[in-house]
Structure 1
Amino acid sequence: MVKGPGLYSDIGKKARDLLYRDYVSDHKFTITTFSTTGVAITSSGLKKGELFLADVSTQLKNKNITTDVKVDTNSNLYTTITVDEPAPGLKTIFSFVVPDQKSGKVELQYLHEYAGINTSIGLTASPLVNFSGVAGNNIVALGTDVSFDTATGNFTKCNAGLSFSSSDLIASLALNDKGDTVSASYYHTVKPVTNTAVGAELTHSFSSNENTLTIGTQHLLDPLTTVKARVNSYGKASALIQHEWRPKSLFTISGEVDTRAIEKSAKIGLAVALKP
């Protein structure tokens, strides 16, 4: 595996995962089974208030080719075909949605010791073209992420990011929304044995002159149980506990309370993922 700066999406990912990943405010159930031919079948159900959403997906791996097919409640068919390393460091992804005729897209990812490139183009007459690139190494990385709409001749996205990593600390700075938003994030490993870490993200919007600060932490109570907590500058405090009651099968319960309106009821979320 190539050790390098990774892709643009990896900039600040550790802090984002600590602060936002696995927090749920709805009820979600996922079960995965495997057929005798090796096909993985995953069924998911999500209850958002009075609305219930479901989907069924299958995954088939044949050598270096992975095919994912998913059908949702609205009868949309999502198909993704991934070819891993047709050449060293290269990954090719082809995806489309039926019946959306404009959803076809080809994506190329290339990882190098000193660079990471991800580019995609829509399969339409006037496609949306996206390019992201990162240069550096596993310590310092500098990158950009841009999207260009050939139909209008405008850039729909223009972002830039910088990341610094050490053995126990990762700091990143990103300029998003065409320069309107700047975000700084921080992730620090306190105790590797118990996966104890702290993280923070500060976002400033120049157009609204608003600041948003989110801080959080995580800790392993035991090898199978993780607890996380976070709070932001708007007074929203959240916590979760996740238990791996069997290999790859997770039970997660999380809650959120508005400390500025404590009389309101807390939001409780539940997620169950079952794998054989």
Structure 2
Amino acid sequence: MANGPAPFSDIGKRAKDLLTKDYNYDYKFVLSVPGSTPMGLVATGLTKGQIFLGDVSAQYKSGRTVVDVKVDTYSNVSTKVTVHEVMPSTKAVLSFDVPDHKSGKLDVQYIHPQIAVDSSIGLNPSPVLTLAAAVGHKDVHLGCEVGFDTASASFTKYTAGISFNKPDLSASLILMDKGQTLKASYIHSVDASNKTQVVGEMTHGLSTLENSFTIGSAHAIDRYNTVKTRFSDKGKLAMLCQREWRPKSLITFSAEYDTKKTEVAPKWGLALALKP
């Protein structure tokens, strides 16, 4: 794929990942076995209260084609076929679930040095169409996304956003919810080594005039240990501690406390990811 601007979905992603990625309030286990052959295997288990959910994923690579197959607890089978360079600078992804015969979807991504285009269409008699495009020059990216439901002949979404990115900071502004909500985010490294980062995200309802915000931080204590924090205007305080005890093998502890509901016990979770 040619180098070019990031897709529209990446606008505001750095701030969102710092605030939400790896937070988990259940018991989660992931085992990844890449192997020396083109076949890879990933097993995931998640305990939610008294319910255990698990799935097994297999990946096969052959040339420019990658096939991913996942089987979940309820024997549902999800398949994704990715073909790189199906045309110059173009990637195509075909996905479908079994036994849901209406779940088929085709995604096509085109990346040019100045523009990135993502399109999606459901493979059923009344598909939902989605088209996203982003243009970029140096550190500034501008994009929009439109969704259209052919069954109701109506737009399901239209979103626009702009972002400014540097190695030590990122700022974005997104108009979402069909023009009803404005979301701004900012992430900044407070030291030259990028070991400590702070982030803020704020949303403003243009019709309701309601505001909400979330602030957070991430600090790399050393090459193996990371601590993250998060606080929202709803009074929820969260913390995450993550240790990489061997390459790409992580143990993560997360906890969240609602300061406005002191009678409710804090939520916490433990996640273990293993890669032999």
TM-score in terms of structure 2 length: 0.95
Task: Report how far residue 86 of structure 1 moved.
Answer: 2.7
**Distance (whole Å) between structure 2 residues aligned to residue 189 and residue 92 of structure 1:** 36
**Distance (whole Å) between structure 2 residues aligned to residue 154 and residue 117 of structure 1:** 22
Contact 2:237 2:256 in 1 (8 A): yes
Task: Report how far residue 136 of structure 1 moved.
Answer: 2.0
Task: Report how far residue 21 of structure 1 moved.
Answer: 0.6
Structure 1 residue 79 corresponds to structure 2 residue 75: no
Task: Report how far residue 267 of structure 1 moved.
Answer: 0.7
Structure 1 residue 23 corresponds to structure 2 residue 23: yes
* Amino-acid identity (%): 49
RMSD across aligned positions (CA) = 1.5
Instruction: Please tell me the residue identity of whatever aligns with 1:65.
Output: T
Q: Which residues of 2 match residues 89-168 of structure 1 at below 5 A?
A: 89-168=89-168
Task: Report how far residue 118 of structure 1 moved.
Answer: 0.3
**Distance (whole Å) between structure 2 residues aligned to residue 35 and residue 220 of structure 1:** 30
Aligned twin of 1:233: 233
**Distance (whole Å) between structure 1 residues aligned to residue 238 and residue 36 of structure 2:** 41
Aligned twin of 1:66: 66
Q: What runs of 5+ residues in structure 2 fail to find an aligned partner?
A: none
Task: Report how far residue 222 of structure 1 moved.
Answer: 0.8
**Distance (whole Å) between structure 1 residues aligned to residue 44 and residue 149 of structure 2:** 34
Task: Report how far residue 273 of structure 1 moved.
Answer: 0.6
Question: Equivalent residue of 2:270, what SS?
Answer: strand
Aligned twin of 2:212: 212
Aligned twin of 1:188: 188
**Distance (whole Å) between structure 2 residues aligned to residue 129 and residue 175 of structure 1:** 20
Task: Report how far residue 35 of structure 1 moved.
Answer: 4.8
Q: What runs of 5+ residues in structure 1 fail to find an aligned partner?
A: none
**Distance (whole Å) between structure 2 residues aligned to residue 60 and residue 4 of structure 1:** 27
TM-score in terms of structure 1 length: 0.95
Contact 1:141 1:162 in 2 (8 A): yes
Task: Report how far residue 126 of structure 1 moved.
Answer: 1.8
Task: Report how far residue 50 of structure 1 moved.
Answer: 1.9
Contact 1:108 1:118 in 2 (8 A): yes
Instruction: Please tell me the residue identity of whatever aligns with 1:236.
Output: K
**Distance (whole Å) between structure 1 residues aligned to residue 23 and residue 241 of structure 2:** 9
Instruction: Please tell me the residue identity of whatever aligns with 1:212.
Output: S
**Distance (whole Å) between structure 2 residues aligned to residue 13 and residue 175 of structure 1:** 15
Task: Report how far residue 207 of structure 1 moved.
Answer: 4.7
Instruction: Please tell me the residue identity of whatever aligns with 2:72.
Output: D
Instruction: Please tell me the residue identity of whatever aligns with 1:94.
Output: L
Question: Equivalent residue of 2:193, what SS?
Answer: helix
